[in-house]
Chains A and B, each alone.
Chain A
Amino acid sequence: MNLDSKVPSGHITTKWSNHRFEMKLVNPANKRKYQIIVVGTGLAGSSAAASLSELGYQVKVFTLHDTPRRAHSIAAQGGINAAKNYPNDGDSIWRLFYDTVKGGDYRAREANVYRLAEISNHIIDQCVAQGVPFAREYGGLLENRSFGGAQVSRTFYARGQTGQQLLLGAYSAMMKEIANGSVSLFTRRELVDIVVIDGKARGIVVRNLINGKFESYSAHAVLLCTGGYGNAYFLSTNAMNCNVSAAWAAYKRGAAFANPCFTQIHPTCIPVHGDYQSKLTLMSESLRNDGRVWVPRKQGDTRKPSEIPEDERYYFLEEKYPSFGNLVPRDVASRNAKEVCDKGLGVGTTKLAVYLDFSDAIKRLGKKVIEERYGNLFDMYEKITGVNPYEEPMMIYPAIHYTMGGIWVDYNLMSTLPGLFVLGEANFSDHGANRLGASALMQGLADGYFIIPYTIGHYFASNTFSKIDETHLAFSDAEKEIEQTIQRLMSIQGNRTVDDFHRQLGQIMWDYVGMSRNEKGLKYALEKIPEIRDEFWKNVKVTGVSNDFNQTLEKAKRVADFLDFAELLTLDALERRESCGGHFREESQTEEGEAKRDDENYSHVSVWEYNGPNLKPNFHKEPLIFEYVKPSQRSYK
């Protein structure tokens, strides 16, 4: 497998601008002859669809939701990073680049990260012009706040709803193009296969979720903007419909999967409260700006938090990491929460929670300021838990939140399947082994607004395309194949529900492939996952019929794919015998229990190539070379 990253030559600060000049262009009059399929309408998908349509390409957009605005980007709360340096606190493109490479624990491609930092400022310009109502100061200028893993304030935000506002910006830009007639929108369609003709991705097959029928669409290129795979763990902060199926279909058609074991556990989520629980809710990391994380120093301390005196509280992040304190990166904060709970210091009924306390901030700044900053988050917490966080500390615990791994892409965002581009969380590119807060929105929009419009033109201009349409045999073959899978699912009529299997898989993943991993546990998971999968295919119950609106069937197909994918994730975690970022291998830690990288053996992207059903995938490495940021043991002390 050819893993040419296509990183341009030259100094890192000029790579992207040189590359933009060197890439071929498509004549404006010829652009409308090219059709592009965009799958997914989150930040990456919507921004790409809008921008490509503005250039003159013919774009077809697909979403499994009833409207593009539901995509899970909408749930991002805290903010979006950019190197504007408005607060005059020492920020720069170089510092954002440096922080992101370091935050990712030196497992990202330097050139990609630099480009991301470079583009970050244009994103803010674009979003402001679209009418995104970012927080303002009294003088009318944009306000910034700080976020984990950075010592500067570079995060732009719109209350606790930044993702919503950015998505609505990209959504409305796309709606404008739909009105212009160059974007066609297909809602309630779920990708079931990618069609490859003459070695290039030339179309997709979707299931129409209203009538269950398969539909084929051809194009000159396909963009996957289908998000991450956190729901492999069943309980995660992802929305219920987030799934790996589109990425998995791409993988099976020849797009290699990179670093699947790089999953991010977010430290501030509302703890699990029962078996019936369907998902976990994130409380924005921005809360750690003013909230202090602590547990009682004594095991089994059942006093109310307000009754525990200051000197009997263990502010473990502030004590262990004096320079970053409560604002250490997510992986560090999560592992420390787990560690104190493992020591029996956890709070709440399950003892799997730590306090996030705002009483000092309320004393210092007043309730009104806190309300202005986090009002909607506090309300949400109270709605879910029935506890008022202005009066009692919040209880939080880590949960699966984001996946840094994804489909391998080169510098042009193209996968190993020519013509298949992957954007946003669905690709593996910029966050290494750990993503910093407020960087997901930045990356999704960078990919969609400012990278793909350039790189896709180069792809079109440097390739020739055979004339094909949906009548090509490859489409009907793909439809037949997926029809068989669907009929197989419908015919089992077993005794267990789809969710029951999903929950069982999730428990294995969380226990053995979760916040901390070891060889024995991973090997155990690799035995259990196929067992669950075998039983699933013998004993799952899918009600209703296939040619109808059937949500159970939708779920069953997604869980079937998760059951395949979970094995790859686990295999990758086993293969990487080092700790880095969100991937913590117990065998590889410092004396103080921090993640210990092994740069000599693991400074690479782990890339997996599909090899056929039930066969071990081929393993490849893309070496990572750090010319500009010298890897060091990450320290936030």
Chain B
Amino acid sequence: MSESNTIHLTLRVWRQPNAATPGRFETYEATNISTEMSFLEMLDVVNDQLALNGIEPIAFDHDCREGICGACGCVVNGQAHGHLKGTTLCQLHMRHFRDGDTLVIEPFRAKAFPIIKDLVVDRSAFDQIIQAGGYISVKTGSAPEASSILVPKKNADLAMDAAACIGCGACVAACPNSSAMLFVSAKINHLGQLPQGQPERYRRAIHMIEKMDELGFGNCSNHLECEAACPKEIQFVNIGRMNRDYIIAKLFHNEEAF
């Protein structure tokens, strides 16, 4: 373990009882925070103090605390998942902050992610996009022998790079347009890189993109904030590849979509 220190922080936290009630920032002191703690453990400590003082703890989504489930995430000092590159909030440790820092903590804000409470938002729009076509249609039991499908290592690697997306929504929160194109392109390229994904490739692109538009996500205008915020470092190039699929789909495969 690296050397442990104790720091004191001031938190300005977004509190909002529910979607219908306006929210506001509240200020809390976070004292005696070990630099070995994760950001969420720091919030646990603050929440315990709040609870003992009869104040309702700050609501935030979290689960695995290993950076893989995608449940956690909020905006810290203007950056989704905080300032550390390629890191979910649960894996951001307090050694990356300095004694006396003020941290402004807000939920992921986007029209398509309505606030449920405090830092908790509703990201079910992502599920709806996947339902629109983020899969390969194969029924249980109908699969051919695994080694009958050859996948060049390069394609398998590129597919895995894209498939690493954890669906946290940081890309949407970071984008000035609240675009979900990094998320959508990650799934389209994961499946589009693989031979198994070819039969539905263009149909998938049309359906997922149209669903994304319908749900109120914005369009990409090349700010690349999504890539910078992505805790899994999903690359922006995926959006270009997705656009290519979409254009080809619209030009040559539009009838397949219906």
Contact at A54–B140, with CB atoms within 8 Å? yes
What residues on A are CB-neighbors of B191 within 8 Å?
131
What residues on B are CB-neighbors of A28 within 8 Å?
none
Contact at A179–B131, with CB atoms within 8 Å? yes
- What are 23 A-B pairs at a CB distance below 8 A? A65-B63, A67-B123, A69-B69, A72-B63, A75-B68, A133-B159, A136-B151, A168-B163, A173-B140, A176-B137, A241-B63, A271-B1, A273-B4, A278-B44, A380-B66, A383-B91, A384-B38, A385-B2, A386-B93, A450-B140, A499-B44, A548-B17, A551-B59
What residues on B are CB-neighbors of A478 within 8 Å?
none
Query: Closest Cβ of chain B: how far from A496's Cβ, in Å?
Result: 8
Does chain B have a CB within 8 A of A21? no
What residues on B are CB-neighbors of A139 within 8 Å?
150
Inter-chain CB contacts under 8 Å: number: 233
Question: In the docked arrangement, what's the CA distance between A131 and B147, Å?
Answer: 13
Does chain B have a CB within 8 A of A549? yes
B interface residue numbers (CB < 8 A to A): 1-2, 4, 17-18, 34, 36-38, 40-41, 44-45, 48, 50-52, 54-57, 59, 61-71, 86-87, 91-93, 95, 116-117, 120, 122-124, 126-127, 130-132, 134-147, 149-153, 156, 159-160, 163-164, 166-167, 190-191, 193-194, 196-197
Q: In the complex where A65-B63, A176-B135 touch, is A128 in contact with B91 (Cβ < 8 A)?
A: no
Question: In the docked arrangement, what's the CA distance between A363 and B23, Å?
Answer: 56
Contact at A161–B1, with CB atoms within 8 Å? no
Contact at A543–B87, with CB atoms within 8 Å? no
Number of interface residues of A (CB under 8 A): 90
Contact at A66–B146, with CB atoms within 8 Å? no
Contact at B68–A138, with CB atoms within 8 Å? no
Q: In the complex where A210-B116, A276-B37 touch, is A66 in contact with B71 (Cβ < 8 A)?
A: yes
A interface residue numbers (CB < 8 A to B): 47, 50-51, 54, 65-72, 74-75, 84, 86, 121-122, 124-131, 133-142, 158-159, 161, 163-165, 168, 171-173, 175-176, 178-179, 185, 187, 210, 239-241, 271, 273-274, 276-279, 281-282, 348-349, 379-380, 383-387, 395, 449-450, 453, 495, 497, 499-500, 541, 543-544, 548-552
What residues on B are CB-neighbors of A121 within 8 Å?
146
What residues on B are CB-neighbors of A385 within 8 Å?
1-2
Contact at B18–A549, with CB atoms within 8 Å? yes
Contact at A131–B41, with CB atoms within 8 Å? no
Contact at B146–A499, with CB atoms within 8 Å? no
Per a CB cutoff under 8 Å, which of A66, A126, A176 touches B61?
Answer: A66
From A136, A173, A241, name the one whose CB has the most chain B CB atoms within 10 angstroms.
A136
Contact at A133–B70, with CB atoms within 8 Å? no
From A70, A72, A274, A541, name the one whose CB has the most chain B CB atoms within 10 angstroms.
A70
Contact at B135–A172, with CB atoms within 8 Å? yes
Contact at B160–A124, with CB atoms within 8 Å? no
What residues on B are CB-neighbors of A47 within 8 Å?
140
Per a CB cutoff under 8 Å, which of B51, B87, B135 touches A383?
Answer: B87
Contact at A386–B123, with CB atoms within 8 Å? no
Question: In the docked arrangement, what's the CA distance between A463 and B147, Å?
Answer: 41
Contact at B68–A173, with CB atoms within 8 Å? no
- B165: nearest chain-A partner, CB-CB: A168
Query: Closest Cβ of chain A: how far from B161's Cβ, in Å?
Result: 9
Contact at A380–B150, with CB atoms within 8 Å? no
Q: In the complex where A395-B1, A551-B59 touch, is A129 in contact with B143 (Cβ < 8 A)?
A: yes
Query: Closest Cβ of chain B: how far from A123's Cβ, in Å?
Result: 9
Contact at B136–A130, with CB atoms within 8 Å? yes
Question: In the docked arrangement, what's the CA distance between A242 and B139, Å?
Answer: 29
Q: In the complex where A134-B156, A164-B68 touch, is A273 in contact with B124 (Cβ < 8 A)?
A: no
What residues on A are CB-neighbors of B160 within 8 Å?
133, 158-159, 161, 165
Contact at B194–A136, with CB atoms within 8 Å? no
Per a CB cutoff under 8 Å, which of B45, B51, B120 touches A549?
Answer: B120
Contact at B1–A279, with CB atoms within 8 Å? no
Question: In the docked arrangement, what's the CA distance between A414 and B141, Å?
Answer: 22
Query: Closest Cβ of chain B: how far from A63's Cβ, in Å?
Result: 11
Q: In the complex where A54-B140, A74-B64, A130-B136 touch, is A380 in contact with B91 (Cβ < 8 A)?
A: yes
What residues on A are CB-neighbors of B63 within 8 Å?
65, 70, 72, 239-241
Given contacts A70-B70, A74-B69, A130-B196, 13 further A-B contacts (CB under 8 A): A65-B71, A66-B123, A67-B123, A86-B147, A122-B143, A133-B151, A139-B150, A161-B164, A178-B131, A273-B1, A274-B4, A274-B37, A549-B117
Question: In the docked arrangement, what's the CA distance between A395 and B123, Å?
Answer: 37
